[in-house]
Amino acid sequence: MRNKQIKDMVFAASLMAMIVLFSLLYFFQVVGFAAFTIAHIPVLIGAVILGPKYGTALGAVFGITSMIIAIFSLGPNAPFTNPLLSVLPRVIFGWAIYYIYMFIDRVVKNRYASVAITFAVSTLFHTLLVLPILYVVANTGFYFTASENPMSDLGGLLAFIITVLGANGVIEIIVAVLAGTPIVLVMDKLIKVEE
């Protein structure tokens, strides 16, 4: 039992390091005018394999890293300096993934399909969780450098949200499913071998 706890902690720490690395390598970046990220994939993987406690912790790391990057980069990322936008939805996202997976797995009853659908639904859930908060934070100017930020313009903000929903959201879903699902299935095999 203690051995499993240590392995889980080491695996979670590795996923946290990946989140930070992806963020520092500008995988959480501004592409054109819309943020695109793959830093949510380790959160998905960890939550499905390790459960809601680790999912919440991984989501918190994702959010805190997002906030730190926003503080240093500002510009279009400036609204993410507000932890209600950068941290809170990512913590909720990390916690919810496991329960989304459990529900889908009960319905689908196939590990591969359940994981793939969970990654797609959870990534969409993340997007739909962040965007309304982004709208409120950006619209109220409740963040650093609000007066200088292009998202203060209502038209620019709506264009951003439509771009994220229409293009970036779809790309993030596809990448999460194609990159994350095989990793979970490989980890399943490694866990069975160790047992």
Task: Tell me the DSSP string of 7-32.
Answer: HHHHHHHHHHHHHHHHHHTTSSEEET
Closest alpha carbon to 17 in 123, 85, 9, 101: 9
Average pLDDT over residues 3-21: 93
Per residue in 140-194, pLDDT (tens digit) is: 888 877 777 666 566 667 776 777 677 778 888 999 999 999 999 999 888 766 6
- φ, ψ for residue 162 (rounded to 5)? -65, -40
The CATH number of 2-194, from 3.30.70.890, 1.10.1760.20, 3.40.50.1220, 3.20.20.70, is: 1.10.1760.20
Per residue in 86-139, pLDDT (tens digit) is: 999 999 999 999 999 999 999 999 999 999 999 999 999 999 999 899 888 888
Structure tokens at 99: 């329960």
User: Per DSSP, what are the bridge partners of residue 18?
Assistant: none
Cα 20 → chain centroid: 12
pLDDT band at 47; cut points 50, 70, 90: very high
- What pLDDT sits at residue 32? 46
- What pLDDT sits at residue 87? 97
Average pLDDT over residues 46-70: 95
